[in-house]
Structure 1
């Protein structure tokens, strides 16, 4: 956990209580309560788990697969299709938030009691209903497979810390990604991440391969590579003219649900967000050039959408993973449901004060590398 950054958030919030961000800071209080409550549950639960069965420490994390493409580039579709393979293990949103086996076991036992089952179901429905406001851009549900960003949020190293500290990115000059933070923070965060994966695999099958999709991995690639030198990474290229405004719209939708509408591009909030989204493209290209070819594969968004099953097979072939005949059939079946992951709305760079010329200039190396016009 980046405790120094946490202290900066708290100091910023105290200062903002006397300024124009006051309302946003006050609206962040329920999110702070959620973070504190889950932190306590996870901490106590992990202590109990360690007392009951510490053998999770013996689990080996072998060649995990990370879908590292930026937001709005087809990651959810690819991730869900890969997760159809029972040899892979991926977390649900709920599991990424509440992690200890003891806590999950307790909740499972409570579900066997009719009165408690109804109460727990109602709480789950309320949480899902709140998240449904994002359905137009991204579908979130507690029981649905999702990226493991909740872990990084709880370490205060994720871009979404702005939900807890409305002005923090403005005060720090932009989002400071994990790879650019002090070595001590990087090492402690990745050690905790390994522990998170070990505990998860211990409960679902230690022989399985951990599969994760995280659209903010671009700022953690050096940390991931150092902690998991046998990891395999998948990037998906989508033209920045389409990907960037769609990614920013997702940030707007999440932020609106937390505090209300923040005018774009007038509010200072948007500059660090835009910079962070653009920076992802540069970092991904740099790592594509640096990584051993056998550990990195790059797909094209248009091809993934047009024929998802063929692109999943390409991933298997590239990484030398045998594709069982039964799973090959399941891929074809899953591809028929690909429309579930497509969102029809289109967004424009101009909505966020950007132009094509500016994007092309700021990402000149990326455009040249991929032959984009």
Structure 2
């Protein structure tokens, strides 16, 4: 009897503990599968039903704490197709002209803005005015001025603004952050970030300055900008940068093909990064400290991420990035959880300020000092 009673007591205690379990601890160690019972579900409207939204939508089918309850698109056929596929009723389908009406829809908590960069600013502000939380793909805006206006609009409306930094939840990435925070790598000396691929269709929006705001830096170079910050664990104080362009027909004025940039940090650590639309096989982070190193390659692709350190191979499990991201963002929005690496609008704004400085350094040939 005693053993049975002890078993039942332990079982009850485990059940009570379940809602308080996190998908991973502060250093990315535990089981990365969310418990089934972990609080309310975040009801999300997807805005911009393109290729990346398709990836997000598919990944969300495995989420425990987030589900698709709304759709926003300028293409009626997509609204109908996606509505049927993801069981979103017509009353929760909107176009770009009338989506402000989400303010009257109790089935939507947040809107994930997955549209071309130039549209983020106005769309996020409209989402905030409708009283809904905003999740915005990166880069958050075209420049720091726009980003600040978005942060202010969401603060004034009393809603959260998160940015789609999926790598901030990736297990191997978090293990490197943990090692650095724990001092296992010693004093950090150097970071290298390489992000590049050969871009295809010359008529796509990513090569249109009016929609993209730039070129490779805005699309993939932002991974190196952001990665340098969370890998080194400091905010840079200066930037130098150089632009190279070999195809002026494809990469028109204001659309960068290749940018090399360097960052300096208060501790004396430096970063050397490359962003390009003209070279394949560039997806690597390398962090060097006095006691050790960490390398991720691939470092920011959809996975699985692979990595090693001076202690050996990283073996944390792969979970679809967008599934993990959306479940964790549900916890941030609904439970005020604090991620190891921030994903809020202030984080997005810091990257925009650095990218503004990178473009200024390319234009002037001069080192740019960064201030908070």
For the aligned pair, the TM-score class normalised by the smaller chain equals: under 0.3
Which has the larger helix fraction?
Answer: 1
Structure with bigger RCO (C-alpha 8 Å, 6+ apart): 1
Under a length normalisation based on structure 2, what TM-score does the superposition of the two structures give? 0.25
Under a length normalisation based on structure 1, what TM-score does the superposition of the two structures give? 0.25
Higher Cα radius of gyration: 2
